[in-house]
Chains A and B, each alone.
Chain A
Amino acid sequence: MAEIVIDRVRKSYGPLTVLKDFSLEVADGEFVVLVGPSGCGKSTMLKILAGLEEATSGVVRIGGRDVTDLAPGDRDIAMVFQNYALYPHLTVAANMGFGLKMRGTPAGIIARRVQEAARILDVEHLLARRPRQLSGGQRQRVAMGRAIVREPQAFLMDEPLSNLDAKLRVQMRAEIGALHQRLGVTTIYVTHDQIEAMTMANRIVIMKDGEVQQIADPETMFAQPANLFVAGFIGSPGMNFLKAETRAGRIRLFDQDVPLPPAAEGTITAGLRPEHFSAGPGPVTFTTRPMLVESLGSEKYVYFEAPQANRLVNPIGRTDEERRGDRLVARLMNSGPITVGEELTLSFDPARLHVFDPASGRAIR
């Protein structure tokens, strides 16, 4: 077990820079999740950490040792790949023991450690099989087993759950969390799924276009997003954004005067999470007509139009859906029946509002 220090790591392919001065310190035993959309550089960073890619500049230290120029096998890390990368010609037991064998560990010790890891992951009955005879979930466990058998200083996981179906993913998420609790090995986990990041991480690193957007624990990430991108990325559904002009410390939202933090000036982007709307009257109350209602049983997603004056012209987002600045969503718990097109009273607490500078996207507090 060890702390990991990544100091101003940069990766360029010719003129294209995919990782811009990435710095991160991971404490011994910490579970850090790198999260971000496709192409944000998170997997590249993990491969640089593993030694599978070379950094253009910067330093990587694992357990106080500079490993920047070391081969992957000399870094004392284990990696779980998105497609598991099990050796198809070897049995499960040989797959799990391969790394130890490469290090010249005596056969007796390999057998004992493979048995122990197989017991922890409940794959003892599969040890004699080959990868092609396993289900997706079993392959995932074997890939985990191959990592833990080595007892490395750190685990690196590259979207290890993305090939599993939704139900199995939730189950394995909990199992990986429990395994981390049990083994206490420093873990860096890459995913594009913000729910995985929120549920598993001690700390989350959000990335976009090769740059770190924010490093924080899940609670802080959710409650105090550093910028519009983080605010929109974390949370499901994502945060609603509204345009507003400040006048004497107040803005007009939904045709109401709403008080704001004193630092805000001029045109701002206000953010409000879907779950911070309530059905019925509250501190700021307005009426609307739902365009669409999605019921998930215990909760409802109510989609409604933003007032003309509050619509964003060019809100943050990558997909057409995310770019829609005229549609808002409220996540209502136990709200009773709601009908599309019929008048609905909603409210929110202005203390829940997030304020962003529309030009830089940074949060104003």
Chain B
Amino acid sequence: MKQSLATRLTLYASVILTCAILIFPIYWLIVTALSQPDQLRQLPPKFWPEEPRWSVFGKILEERPILLWLSNSALAAMGAVTISMVVSVLAGYSLSRFRVRGGDSLGLFILTAKMLPATLLVIPLFGIFRMTGLIGSMWSIILAHATLIIPFTTWMLKGYFDTIPRELEQAAMVDGCSPLGALFRVILPVSAPGLAATALYGFVLSWSDYAYARTFLTNAQGNWTANLGITTMKGEYISNWADISAAAILVALPILAIYLFLERYLVGGLTAGSEK
């Protein structure tokens, strides 16, 4: 069907507008980071600093333990994602393949955990972690993030497993695999794009957390995650927004790198050719 010029123009205009709205905050973050602190509030604003202050990144790396914060964030995210993937692969596969009495309701019930606001879960989690002596330890946010991630990843993986023909594992079982063997030898390798997307989702969820880190780690400075660390850069009377923006950019970079690395797995189509 050939679209009219007006339709196409409207379409392009809305795409450009959407992209602009999405990209502008990132662009402004970069501009803020590279501007001299005294230029930030000038009117009219400059859309690119006359002398970009590239040294800001070196400066904040020297002044603040950004690398420690980043490694703590990475540890929390990797721990939470590892636990979440182990649980949700098995749970998602079971929900997808086995007919259990009340299985559908069970699946929906798992999702309701996600519908509760994170702040509501903070209170019971705090109680549990205090009892178990985990407040201030990395385990507190690893487990807290896992509770946040698992409902969604289970549901995502169930959806992905539903798209994989059952005949694949049936063939594997006829070939001598146990049901678990068929899952590990055939279904999981075939699900690489789904697993990658799910893991990335969990990673981003953990990486972007602030509330849990603020609640469980405030008194354990050595375990601060990047998001928690950055908020401490904001002073009571003076805030150096250029430094904070530069730190925010450094915190966003690992997610960008991981996305670029996983991109080839995220592209579907690995199952193509298994059937018909």
Contacts and interface: CB of A to CB of B under 8 A. Distances in A.
A150 B174 CA distance: 11
Contacts of A87: 168, 171-172, 186, 190, 274
B276 A83 contact: yes
B173 interface: yes
Contacts, number: 92
B224 to A, nearest CB: 41
B173 A72 contact: yes
Q: Interface size for chain B: under 10, 10 to 19, 20 to 34, or 35 or more residues?
A: 20 to 34
Given A73-B176, A98-B175, A99-B175, A85 B170 contact: yes
A71 B173 contact: yes
A77 B174 contact: yes
A107 interface: no
Contact of A88 (B177, B181, B270): B270
B177 to A, nearest CB: 6
B175 A102 contact: yes
Residue of B168, B171, B174 most packed against chain A (CB within 10 A) = B174
Contacts of B192: 89
A125 to B, nearest CB: 17
Nearest to A47: B170
25 contacts: A47-B170, A50-B170, A71-B178, A72-B170, A79-B170, A81-B170, A83-B167, A83-B276, A84-B274, A84-B275, A85-B165, A85-B275, A86-B171, A86-B273, A87-B186, A88-B271, A99-B174, A99-B175, A102-B175, A130-B273, A131-B273, A131-B274, A132-B269, A139-B273, A146-B175
Contact of A134 (B174, B189, B273): B273
A103 interface: yes
Contacts of B275: 81, 83-86, 139
A73 B271 contact: no
Given A79-B174, A99-B176, A132 B165 contact: no
B176 A102 contact: yes
Interface residues of A, number: 33
B116 interface: no
Contacts of B276: 83-84, 136, 139, 163
Contact of A132 (B170, B176, B181, B273): B273
B6 interface: no
Contacts of B168: 85, 87
Given A87-B190, A131-B274, A73 B167 contact: no
Interface of A: 47, 50-52, 71-73, 77-79, 81-89, 98-99, 102-103, 130-134, 136, 139, 146, 150, 163
Contact of B167 (A81, A102, A103, A139): A81
B95 to A, nearest CB: 20
A88 B274 contact: yes
Given A87-B186, A89-B190, A99-B176, A79 B171 contact: yes
Contacts of B274: 83-88, 131-132
Given A85-B168, A88-B190, A89-B189, A73 B273 contact: no
Contacts of B270: 88-89
Contacts of B115: none
Contacts of A89: 186, 189-190, 192, 270
Interface in B250-276: 269-276
A301 to B, nearest CB: 32
A272 B61 CA distance: 93
Nearest to B192: A89
Interface string B85-121: 0000000000000000000000000000000000000
A189 to B, nearest CB: 16
Given A85-B168, A132-B272, A146-B171, 9 more contacts: A51-B174, A73-B173, A79-B170, A83-B165, A83-B276, A85-B167, A86-B275, A88-B274, A89-B189
Contacts of A85: 165, 167-168, 170-171, 274-275
A69 to B, nearest CB: 15
Contact of B174 (A72, A139, A163): A72
